[in-house]
Structure 1
Amino acid sequence: MMTEIKSGTPIAKQSQRHGGLPVSLPAWAYTSDELADLEYEHVILPSWQFVCHVSQVKNPGDYMTLDMKKDSVLVMRGKDDVLRAFMNVCRHRAAKLLTGAGNCRARITCPYHGWSYDLSGELKGLPAEKTFPGVEKDKLGLKEIEIEILAGMVFARVVPGGPTLRESFGAMADVIAEYRLEEMVPGGEPWIDTWDCNWKIAVDNNLENYHITVGHPGLNRMFDSDLTGVLNEHGVAYSKSVLKGIPSPNRAERMYQHLAKNAFTQLPEAARRTWTFFSLVPNIGLDIYPDSFDIFQILPQSGTTCVMRYPIFVRPDANREEKAMQYLNARINRQVGLEDRELCERVQAGMGSHGYEPGPLSNYEHAVVDFHNRIRAACPVVNDAKAPVSGTMRQRNDALRGDARSAA
């Protein structure tokens, strides 16, 4: 039996209305480079960001990095077996220390001037130390940031504060626990690509199932999908799709439906035929299947582009039929990804249309409404119908944030 989740309360009432219904953010908010910078600072950096799975950093010296718009994050396991997160930058002249993934046996050494740090981030050596009279090495360790592990997933947060990851998911973490994600391993190299759309367009798409029946015909053939889902007070959304009893006319989809009947018997029966979808505000989708799970991480790049980071993790002890399900899942979801990209880039193309005004949002899109409210709270400049004059957006936004604090 799968845990049932009740809906929570969105962050705030929507400030923009259309005939009593909430509407989307203004079109200019999906094209502005200046706004993308503000959103990165006020929305992305204070949020939990997925870095890796515990299986990727299980030995002392193992590390993984996450590159974002302006920052790089380093997660490393120390000799004391403690997992830590740091800003991936040398304290001397800001050189990026490590790239990708790997193992440091003893020290992290800067490739520029050779400053070196132990696996717990402490500065241990700098060439020509005598030329730094009075240097206090104990104050020049790597900048440590927040880290939290949930069901084997390792997250980091650059700007501290706010709810923990476990608090954010609340009762939804109990649903996640049923799938035993901590036992999974990488299913290959993560897929990373650039989409020609604003990051919020991709997030909007990920937050609603309203488009599934039209935009994803394969999923619609395979599943009975919950188009509404639920949303908790921290903005974490959850929905599920249950395999239909009617076989799909598509061979790959039909094979997956057939194999799922008797596979992964270590899971609760309901979980074996259910795909569950979570979204963690502001930019992460977590898709859990009986055979695998993936993270859909949407990172802002510019006003009209974003970077998609899409790692997949699979069950290492899968038998032949279960491995076939993993293969079929990847094939099905590749098509879903292509469909989502086309849909999002179509929306981006329309944002510049003359006279376009945001239309009303459906009750199916309540998680989109909540996300937009959070953007409005962090970057109140988006409440302006027109974009501020170029070069003045930060000043305008700072003034509005100050007014909001004063009013509170």
Structure 2
Amino acid sequence: MIIRKEEVWLLLQPCHVLRMCLCICLDPFAFWLCSPLLELQLKPRHQPYKLCRQWQDLLYRFTEASEDDISQDEPYIQYRRNVFYPKSKELQIEDETVLRLLYEEARSNVLSGRYPCDPEHWAGLGALSLALEEGAGLDSQQATAKIREKKLSSFVPAHVAMGSGGFFSTLRGKSSRQAELEQKLSEEYRKISTSTGTSAEPRQLLHQYLSMCHILPYYGCAFFCGEIDKPVQGILQRGKRKAVSVGICLDGVYVMDVKEKHVLLGLCFSELSWDHSYPEEEGDSHILWLEFDGEEDGTPVNKLLKIYSKQAELMSGFIEFCVELKSASEGGVAAETGSEAGVSQERAVPEASTRNGRGGRRGMLQRQSSVVCSRIHSLNTISYVDNGEHIQCWGKKNPKERFLAFVFVFQVKKSNA
């Protein structure tokens, strides 16, 4: 979206007025103020111009960027997917222009690695992109030729197209890997041609692409930057941290490894408790605490994951808003039905809330090989057991970290009282 100089006055208007003036009152989308350092979805009452004037203050508050980076950073306005728009409504959209906008955003997130995908997933999505650009009527040779012409990075995530590198990758040869990826895309493209026909309409392919993206639990998330402790494997590794991306949406919270492009922890709201803490001393970090159920030597325990981030306050508030919004929407569905199903759902909501947000036992999370599934074994967490009389805590030898863990646990207990 480009705003001409004579239309700059629009930026002084609240977002809901700006949408009406530009005739783009589409529910699936919202205005975002973005830069390489920070991304914020604007509320209807926000005035983009005023936030742009306050951008440096926001960067100092919510990022670890240097003064030089902050002074040179300039935000820009994007019109992109609304985090609070339900995925179920997307597939009801028939307007091809709207579907195309959703597709372009999803495709960008897949190719950049923001949405981690398994091989069969990114191959299917890449083949659909080829079908949308070139039609579904190409034969195998034509499809391979188009893939080579446009380059693999146009159809598969960047880290997949480049490869992991290393000694064995060098021995195997870049051309061999490229030929394998091209063949995989060509095979997936042939499956699409067979299932949809050579004259498939773009709208049908766009729906199919978005449907595949909906399988990814973090589709449509707002993303935040942070770090977590690396597991201690020796004296030399103590104090090291790993960069993570934290995705939050109406379905839950997802912590992803920025380098390895896979999920470290994925939790529905009914599976977690959360809080955030401010720095107590100079040099300390803002922390988002996530509590979930796990296991320690065969014993069920509560686990605490610390996410260091200046955006911890933003993340905590965002989680709380999503939980309230989800609870309100579920309550509204139950009220509309007025049937036994509605009554049973109303009874289920309080039960879910006792497991949600502030304590209670939850179902165990299972480790799986897919990039989408949690890797709890690779997390450096604090584990504790609360038997009602005292708390047994282990996993951290630092007295200060143990104390912070106890503070979080007692806050949870107090809020449940």
Q: What is the TM-score when the length of structure 1 is the normalising length? A: 0.25
Question: Larger helix proportion, structure 1 or 2?
Answer: 2
Bigger RCO of structures 1 and 2 (CA < 8 A, at least 6 apart): 1
